Chains A and B, each alone.
Chain A
């Protein structure tokens, strides 16, 4: 989470102005007015995507990071289609998301009472994502130490696959934490990291977009809509740009 607020229109200002507009509209006076030159504009104004620079862990301890990397490496293994989830930066993506508003479920109602609920009622857990990772990863390593005398990250790939499959199926019970809750969130976040824009830490070099042929964060296809039955092979575009922007030679 960036601490400095962007110079664009803040959420509060937007809501206030919307409320004002609604009031004006309700009073019936605003109709038919000509709005002149009043669009908010200031030089250099922009609403930047919130990103964090790489090269460090923001939420995970080094041990936690190692465990998460060992998990995402097995959830998306390297094969002839793409690099692994670890190499694509999924752990970095998850770390930065946990450091931001997602980590505390800032936008969700998270007050009690917490009840088990039915499966149809969805996630009823009292734990926010940061708790799920911190407690879940500790429980996972504790279980691995007890049954294999090693940390999860130190185990061979096949063993890790078996453990993850066991947790997913509910056959392995982690000490003191719901293993399924951990598995679900890691799986979901890994996919998000693999397919999200690279500016958020995952999807290194737009690897997943290249794999799918997804052209990325493009704005406009008017020059292409009438080119039927043709393979366009548009290179993917990140919010930050694409390699073709750089001068070659």
Chain B
């Protein structure tokens, strides 16, 4: 009886083996495409919360109005079922969709243009394996005149350079892999690079920090003071994979990136990205000198810090590893822009949850207890103590953000 069972198993195994042998390379390609879709965090815009994977419908609020992530399942009518690989390749590398119309920059083709044709083919092969979902999405919900797609022709002339990533022969393979991911699929610059008035990247300031949706996407260059220059590669990998290192816990939009994307990257890719980012030049401007401890704003801020913050972040801003971020020498604290800091003090924040750190601890809101001036003084103190140095925070900035967040 046992023998028979074994024989049956072997037979079934043999049969399936034969049946799938021909598709082995396809499987590898599709699997690579799946990973590339994670690397690019396509789901962030193309999978609505609670919706079918990649069926579209995530609204993206841009400074110009609302765009909605398209349905990229292989549905023939509402998705990309009718697209050829060439058409997909063109969308990725030129920002031009099937039918010849221009895509908006919210679809980060300015970054995706760097993706190799082979990777696009794998990505396309993966998308073709998805369940087709019939879901009509009106992607362009911009007001006039931004809703005229032809205007993108001029935008592209000024802000877009087409072309696959070209490895830098002076750098090693790991650095080039990191650069390929950061500049291409991971499209880090979409949030982290300062933007010009048209929403295009400012030249020569790549990844030096930018405010998006009332959050600061901080400086992620190798700048020692406000970038990740002082983070070790392991600390960077921990942040991206687990959502937390001793300086920082991923929160706000980055929490989503960690949850949906970077926590699933391979360690090799995370290390490559760390190598590349840490090699980037940050702003050449010298960090400011810290404010004197006797400054009245510092004195008031210190009292508030001791009463409201030191319980978790500890007296000297050292935090508790794995639970409460360290504020001393934390790059986010030292960024010139304090938007994210003001935000988390006012509204509180919940960290992202990953396999390594499944709980997602949260910081409570202080808007009910701290006035605009209190928040300003508190942050001025935090940004100028324990080795930190950053411009003081003004009460008006707190007032403005409070008004935007709590109209």
A37 contacts which of B297, B353, B368, B406 (Cβ < 8 Å)?
Answer: B353
Determine the residue in chain B with the shortest Cβ distance to A224: B315
* In the complex, chain A residues whose CB is within 8 Å of the CB of B368: 44, 46, 48
Residues of B within 8 A of A247 (CB): 296-297, 299-300, 373, 377
> In the assembled complex, which residues on chain A have CB atoms less than 8 Å from the CB atom of B346?
44
Q: How far is the CA of A159 from the CA of B254 in the complex (A)?
A: 71
Distance between B167 CB and nearest chain A CB, rounded to angstroms: 38
Check A45/B352 contact, CB under 8 A, given A241-B374, A244-B300. Answer: no
- In the assembled complex, the Cα of A46 lies from the Cα of B366 at a distance in Å of 8
A41 to B368, CA, bound (A): 16
Residues of A within 8 A of B238 (CB): none
Residues of A within 8 Å of B406, CB to CB, are: 44
On chain A, the residues within 8 Å of B303 by CB distance are 242, 244-245
Among the listed A34, A43, A241, which residue makes an inter-chain contact with B365, where contact means beta carbons less than 8 Å apart? A43
Structural contact, B360 and A220, CB atoms closer than 8 A: no
Tell me if B358 and A44 are in contact (CB < 8 A): no
Q: Is B367 an interface residue (CB 8 A)?
A: yes
The SS class assigned to the A binding surface is: loop
Please tell me if A227 contacts chain B, counting CB pairs below 8 Å.
Answer: no
The size of the chain B interface, using a CB distance under 8 A, is 34
Q: Are A41 and B300 in contact (CB under 8 A)?
A: no
Q: How many A-B residue pairs have CB under 8 A?
A: 84
Please tell me if A139 contacts chain B, counting CB pairs below 8 Å.
Answer: no
Q: Bits for B57-89, please: 1 = Cβ < 8 Å to A, else 0.
A: 000000000000000000000000000000000
Decide if B359 is an interface residue (CB 8 Å cutoff): yes
Residue A248, interface by CB 8 Å: yes
Segment at the interface with A among B102-110, B132-140, B175-183, B304-312 = B304-312
Contact A220–B296 (Cβ < 8 Å): no
* In the complex, chain B residues 273-326 whose Cβ is within 8 Å of any chain A Cβ: 296-297, 299-300, 303-304, 307, 310-311, 314-315
Q: How far is the CB of B93 from chain A (nearest CB, A)?
A: 36
**How many Å lie between the Cα of A242 and that of B303 in the bound state?**
9
Q: Does B348 have its Cβ within 8 Å of any Cβ on chain A?
A: yes
A222 contacts across to B, CB distance below 8 A: 314-315
Further 16 A-B residue pairs, CB within 8 A, beyond A245-B304, A248-B296: A34-B358, A36-B359, A39-B362, A43-B347, A44-B347, A44-B348, A44-B367, A44-B406, A219-B307, A240-B369, A241-B304, A241-B307, A245-B300, A247-B299, A248-B300, A249-B296
- 4 closest Cβ contacts across the A-B interface? A37-B353, A43-B347, A36-B358, A244-B303
Contact residues of A with B, CB < 8 Å? 34-39, 41, 43-46, 48, 218-220, 222-223, 237, 239-242, 244-249
